[in-house]
């Protein structure tokens, strides 16, 4: 597969000049390392003129003349890092969020909230947190008295998002809440109102808005780099084994809110529009006890004002598939995988030409947390505020109604 922008640590790919430019694409060829080969004129070999003595040249130094290269970029001290309290020490928190703090520039963990004291103590020891900064759920509200905590990160079951977000905001803390934002539209609206009343910032953890490849897709779609968008398709599936909170209706589980939301949000940020109508079909097998309370699979179609149709499916009983394709008038944009924590791949196709865009990747959670810390420390508005979560929840509510009734449902605005 040919490669655009072989410098994998850069994000300045210009598809309109590379993929779409005449002759520009043909010069890029993938190598075994995934880098594009470059060709050009061979420099002439120095030679002496007839009858003249060979030119004498000073030897090229093989090492920097100084102790270090003159263009070496040195790290700069940060005036202050935002202090974070992580609420909920489940798999996501322990495997992704806590390790990501080591890559953050503006964020540091200062407090933990958990219902498992021994686990919390081990995590605190591993990250150098003081024992007095470990909280349980019954004294959660005492975070208000801890000046070291600027931000509370809610990583709890979906059914608890609204309650703990509102309580954290009332405690005077800014909040990053995992998605889905809540389990009802009304809860989302309550959370937004609480942030406004407390004069604190509320951000929803849409990590893909903070990583370079999905950001590049947003840019390509906005530019209509391959012409107007016509359709969008996406699949997000995994095989969930019990016990798992994703399988509990009481805890706000189910495939649409947990993984279907990635396809919904991607369709929205690719089109730049809000869907106006949805249809949906759900399958809940009677012979699989995992799905006593939630569907195994849901397929849904979103209709956008421009006429774009987004066809998506999500499943808790399928082999992993986490991808989307943006079908345009002149070609298509592929993200596969699109929703994983790492190893994302972006490619374009126009006519017979296909190219993979090699763009440096980042730790999604570190980028996301540092963005919010920057907002908190410097008075900026977050890229994915509560309103972003509310927009997705309106779509999810319409999908659930459409699957239940078998009718097309208008999305509330």
Among candidate residues 153, 164, 206, 262, the one labeled active-site is 262
Helix extents (H) in 128-184? 161-170
CA distances to 127, 288, 349, 391, 395 from 265, rounded to whole Å, are: 33, 29, 23, 9, 10
Q: Report residue 340 as tokens.
A: 């994983």
Active site residue 324: no
CA distances to 156, 286, 361 from 366, rounded to whole Å, are: 19, 41, 12
List residues bridging with 3 in a β-sheet. 356
Please calculate the CA angle 195-200-205 and round it to the nearest 5 degrees: 75
Q: What is the full DSSP assignment across 205-259?
A: --GGGGSHHHHHHHHHHHHTBTBSEEEEEEEEEEEPPSS-GGG-TTTT--HIIII
Across the chain, how many H-helices and E-strands are there?
Answer: 10, 16
List residues bridging with 33 in a β-sheet. none
Q: Give yes or no for a contact between 348 and 335, defined as CB atoms under 8 angstroms apart.
A: no
What's the rounded Cα separation, in Å, for the pair 183 and 186? 9
Could you give the 3-state DSSP secondary structure of residue 375?
Answer: helix
Could you give the 3-state DSSP secondary structure of residue 285?
Answer: coil
Q: Report residue 360 as tokens.
A: 């440096």
Active site residue 349: no
Instruction: State how far Cα 207 lies from the chain centre.
Output: 3
Q: Give yes or no for a contact between 282 and 297, defined as CB atoms under 8 angstroms apart.
A: yes
Q: Give yes or no for a contact between 36 and 4, defined as CB atoms under 8 angstroms apart.
A: yes
Tokens 């686990």 belong to: 119
Q: Give yes or no for a contact between 305 and 254, defined as CB atoms under 8 angstroms apart.
A: no
Q: How many CA atoms lie within 13 A of 153 on its CB side?
A: 30
Among candidate residues 179, 201, 269, 324, the one labeled active-site is 179
Beta strands 229-239 and 277-283, pairing class: unpaired
Could you give the 3-state DSSP secondary structure of residue 336?
Answer: coil
CA distances to 239, 258, 265, 409 from 315, rounded to whole Å, are: 8, 10, 17, 21
Catalytic residues: 179, 262
């Amino acid at each position: 597969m040919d490669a655009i922008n072989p410098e994998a640590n850069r994000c300045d790919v210009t598809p309109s000049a590379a993929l779409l430019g005449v002759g520009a694409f043909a010069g890029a060829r993938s190598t075994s390392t995934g880098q594009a080969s470059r060709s050009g004129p061979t420099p002439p070999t120095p030679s002496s003129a007839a009858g003249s003595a060979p030119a004498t040249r000073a030897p090229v130094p093989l090492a920097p003349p100084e102790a270090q290269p003159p263009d070496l970029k040195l790290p700069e001290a940060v005036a202050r890092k935002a202090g974070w309290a992580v609420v909920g020490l489940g798999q996501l928190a322990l495997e992704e969020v806590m390790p990501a703090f080591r890559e953050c520039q503006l964020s540091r963990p200062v407090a933990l909230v958990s219902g498992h004291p021994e686990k919390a103590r081990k995590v605190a020891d591993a990250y150098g947190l003081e024992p007095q900064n470990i909280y349980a759920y019954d004294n959660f509200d005492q975070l208000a008295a801890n000046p070291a905590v600027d931000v509370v990160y809610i990583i709890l079951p979906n059914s608890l998002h609204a309650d703990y977000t509102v309580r954290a905001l009332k405690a005077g803390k800014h909040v990053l809440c995992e998605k889905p934002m809540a389990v009802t539209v009304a809860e989302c609206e309550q959370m937004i109102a609480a942030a406004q009343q407390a004069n604190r910032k509320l951000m929803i953890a849409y990590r893909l808005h903070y990583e370079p490849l999905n950001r590049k897709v947003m840019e390509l779609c906005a530019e209509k780099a391959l012409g107007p968008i016509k359709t969008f398709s996406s699949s997000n599936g995994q095989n969930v084994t019990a016990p798992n909170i994703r399988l509990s209706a009481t805890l706000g589980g189910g495939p649409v809110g947990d993984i279907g939301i990635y396809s919904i949000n991607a369709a929205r940020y690719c089109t730049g529009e809000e869907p106006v109508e949805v249809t949906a079909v759900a399958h809940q097998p009677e012979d699989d006890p995992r799905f006593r309370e939630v569907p195994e699979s849901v397929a849904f179609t979103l209709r956008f004002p421009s006429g774009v149709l987004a066809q998506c499916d999500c499943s808790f009983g399928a082999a992993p598939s986490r991808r989307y394709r943006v079908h345009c008038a002149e070609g298509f944009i592929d993200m596969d995988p699109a929703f994983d924590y790492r190893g994302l791949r972006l490619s374009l196709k126009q006519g017979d030409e296909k190219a993979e865009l090699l763009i440096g990747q980042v730790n999604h959670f570190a980028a996301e947390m540092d963005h919010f810390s920057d907002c908190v420390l410097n008075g900026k508005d977050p890229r994915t505020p509560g309103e972003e979560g509310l927009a997705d929840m309106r779509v999810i509510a319409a999908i659930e109604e459409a699957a239940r009734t078998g009718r097309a449902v208008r999305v509330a605005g």
